[in-house]
Amino acid sequence: MKIIISGGGIGGLTAALCALHFGHQVTVLERAPALGAVGAGIQVPPNAMKIFAALKLDAALTDIGFLPHAIETRMGVSGRQIFTIPLGAQAVARWGAPYLHIHRADYIAVLQNALRAQQADALRLNAEVKAYRQTANGVCAHLADGSEMEGDVLLAGDGIHSPLRTQMLGAQKPIFTGNVAWRAVVPMDRLGDDAPRPTACAWMGAGKHCVTYRLRRGRLANFVGVVSRDDWTVESWTEQGTKQEALADFDGWHPTICRILDAADTHYRWALFDRAPLENWVDGRVALLGDAAHPMLPFMAQGAAMAVEDGWAVMQALAQGDSVTEALQNYQARRLRRTSRAQAVSRANGTTFHQSTRLGQIATYAPLYMVGKFAPKLIHARQDWLYGHDETR
């Protein structure tokens, strides 16, 4: 089949590689003039790494990424550890694949290079899909420049502001969560003894939390911090705040956090909006994937991973011999429950991370500390449904 994919992000590129894996022809239409260094660090958990192992890209991603030793949580001011989940060989033994940290630009580069190596003309830049129409034997994508492209299937991997989702389901009003996120990337050699540990560490505090981890074989430190506030409502990856504002938001926190913010050259911030789970992702020969289908808050590091799983799932469904419309409905049925659960857990984690009162912190974090200390296997088991899942089976 001829597969058209709107959007050249992680979900769209992965879906394109999966299309080639299952023997289809593919064209990715990306509105940007280049796939550049947008974003910062991203986590690639075992459930996503299994897809890349099937595509034989796991080694390339691991080579440019960083393998953390553990997932851990700490108190944001004191740095006291609440619990830890060992990774490395233990992650592979329990969940079937490693846990990886990678810079988003490196992630995109690996996927883009692999796609072009397999089909040189698969990616078209400066090509924005604005709408679609069903035809007698296929689907037609309408581009912003007035041109059209016909194919057998159109996949909308065009993100949280997807015009194809809007055409399919109508406008969806996002709900501001009352949270603003900061992100920054800093060379490790600027941080000295305050460099973050070689873990994926969530730091929790009153009305805020942050996550630190390493990138590019350990040469960079990545920071994402989320603060409860209502005076910034711009949902953009390219808006900048100031160093002074970022430091003020985390004033009095652990030296690791303050040192990263002080050493960073650029401090990006964006407002976090939530969206209700969709009940339908499919219209005839058109289907949504990734953020267009199930955008989620970044409190579980699974947004991109769910898009990666979608890419395999939709192509596997199309390869199983049903009609296109039946295959896309099967894809939706396979993915809807899991992605809705991931959205719900991500939303709930925001409350867990931001306990604002002393009583709330004790009631929430003390049981986690006790379980982590005396029954750590239970902490591991809570992640099995997520990390242990293998979409390729």
pLDDT tens-digit map of 353-377: 766 667 676 676 776 767 777 677 7
Biggest CA pair distance of the chain: 65
Residue 382: predicted pLDDT: 82
Residue 239: predicted pLDDT: 80
DSSP string, 302-345: -HHHHHHHHHHHHHHHHTTSS-HHHHHHHHHHHHHHHHHHHHHH
* Cα distance between the two ends of the chain: 22
Element housing 20 (H / E): helix 10-21
Q: Calculate mean pLDDT across residues 138-162.
A: 96
pLDDT tens sequence across 70-109: 999 999 999 999 888 899 999 999 999 999 999 999 999 9
pLDDT tens sequence across 307-352: 999 999 999 999 997 799 999 999 999 999 999 999 988 888 777 7
The catalytic residue among 99, 213, 365, 387 is 213
The yes-or-no verdict on residue 300 having pLDDT over 90 is: no
DSSP string, 180-221: EEEEEEEEGGGTGGGPPPSSEEEEEETTEEEEEEEEGGGTEE
DSSP symbol at 34: S
The yes-or-no verdict on residue 237 having pLDDT over 70 is: no
- Joined tokens for residue 256: 């690791």
pLDDT range class, residue 214, cuts 50, 70, 90: very high
| Residue among 111, 124, 117, 134 nearest 6 (CA) | 124
* 2-66+104-173+277-349 topology per CATH: FAD/NAD(P)-binding domain (3.50.50)
Q: Can you tell me the distance from the alpha carbon of 87 to that of 93, in angstroms, rounded to the nearest whole number?
A: 9
The yes-or-no verdict on residue 28 having pLDDT over 70 is: yes
The yes-or-no verdict on residue 306 having pLDDT over 90 is: yes
Cβ neighbours of 219 (radius 10 Å): 12
DSSP string, 154-166: EEE---TT-HHHH
Q: Is the dihedral of CA 272, 347, 7, 113 positive or negative?
A: positive
**Known catalytic residue: 213?**
yes
Q: What is the CA radius of gyration of the chain?
A: 21
The yes-or-no verdict on residue 248 having pLDDT over 90 is: yes
Report the chain's mean pLDDT, rounded to a whole number. 91
Residues 6+ apart with CB under 8 A from 385: 341
